[in-house]
Amino acid sequence: MSSSIEVRLNVDFPEFAVNVDLSLPGRGVTALYGHSGSGKTTCLRCIAGLEKASSGFIAINGEVWQDSANGIFVAPHKRSLGYVFQEASLFAHLTVRGNLEFGFKRIAAGERRVNLEQAAALLGIDHLLSRQPDKLSGGERQRVGIARALLTSPRLLLLDEPLAALDAQRKGEILPYLERLHDELDIPMLYVSHSQDEVARLADHLVLLSGGKALASGPIGETLARLDLPLAMGDDAGVVIEGSVSAYDDAYQLVTVRLPYSELTIRVAHAPLGMETPLRFKVQARDVSLSLRADDQSSILNRLPVTVTSEVPADNAAHVLVRLDAAGTPLLARITRYSRDQLQLHPGQQLWAQIKSVALLA
């Protein structure tokens, strides 16, 4: 069976149009990222069948949901998907268990891929099953909503900015559970967000949307590091690195992470992790400084030998963005034009990138 998500859509509104042609991985988390009005939610609603594209083709791992050329349009309730909205919209008259059972009971026993106990454990809501929705926090309600979507045993899980209505503390509570879904379930997810940090933490593949068109689509590590995209211009610009644990310093609670493709390492402040455990972290461009020599008389723990590959002007006239190569791992650095000139930066130049351990988002 084909393992891909094919989405070709032409949607015309009076003042807005969406025209995309995407071939996405049939596994893992794909993020649809962009500012408000970029077309993210319209794409999701078309995939769910809640909006009908004037012309389109949608196939999920070989199962066709829309093929305008051949007159195929599968009704929303016949599409094997789970949809998580910004608000959980739980049934107020039912307990948490009752809300979970609502969708679960409608799936034939032989087609159930996720059971109630498994979903409750994955989302950490085992102890909430007897509660009414009005006795839950916003984060708890959203976790129940995600579990309810999982219990439809979907072939695809759609999440439309599921954390947008929550404060920073509640977001921090839910993100680890979303990571568990990514790690433990073989259900592809399309995740809509305008938060680059959220996307960096969860997504394997990134689609950048703007004005109803896809500006880019590719693995998150490569896409975030591209200097030709608006992603690199924001204050939260940076790269995602997925390495593996090679050591742990219990006295200082520092994990040593070996970068992919090389023996270079970065130390990250983190709770204990076992050897070879995969660890993803984000390096913000604003947290990378550059030096012509390795300075070990500094509070900055991470010093990596790098090569300058390219440079572009930043959104601030005083700054430039520099792309670096650390033995196969891309990095971005946002520095002043003054520093660029003092260092006489140029493509091919070898120097040192310095990164604070406390600045890394792991």
Residues 19 and 166 in one domain: yes
| Domain at 281, CATH number | 2.40.50.100
Residues 71 and 125 in one domain: yes
Total tally of structural domains belonging to the chain: 2
Q: What is the pLDDT of residues 283-310, one digit of tens each?
A: 999 999 999 998 777 889 899 999 999 9
Whether 110 shows a pLDDT value over 80: the answer reads no
**CB-based burial label for 207 (10 Å; 0-12, 13-18, 19+):** buried
Residues 11 and 97 in one domain: yes
| Domain at 136, CATH number | 3.40.50.300
Whether 1 shows a pLDDT value over 50: the answer reads no
Residues 127 and 180 in one domain: yes
Reported as type and span, the H/E element at residue 206 is strand 205-210
The span from the CA of 258 to the CA of 228, in Å, is 28
Q: How confident is the model at residue 2 (pLDDT cuts 50, 70, 90)?
A: low
Residues 189 and 300 in one domain: no
Which pTM was predicted?
Answer: 0.89
Torsion angle defined by CA atoms of residues 261, 262, 267 and 272, in that order, rounded to the nearest 10 degrees: 70
Residues 10 and 142 in one domain: yes
The span from the CA of 59 to the CA of 54, in Å, is 16
Residues 48 and 179 in one domain: yes
State both tokens at 291: 């030096």
Residues 194 and 340 in one domain: no
Residue among 106, 98, 105 at smallest CA distance from 144: 98
8 Å CB contact between 215 and 229: yes
Residues 76 and 204 in one domain: yes
Residues 217 and 252 in one domain: no
Instruction: Name the domain boundary from 233, 263, 293.
Output: 233
- Segment 250-265 mean pLDDT: 93
Residues 193 and 45 in one domain: yes
> Which domain, by its residues, includes 162?
4-233
Residue 326's Cα: distance from chain center in Å?
Answer: 23
Q: What is the pLDDT of residues 75-101, one digit of tens each?
A: 999 999 999 988 888 999 999 999 999
* pLDDT > 90 fraction of the chain, expressed in percent and rounded: 71
The span from the CA of 333 to the CA of 320, in Å, is 8
Instruction: Name the domain boundary from 233, 250, 275.
Output: 233
Whether 180 shows a pLDDT value over 60: the answer reads yes
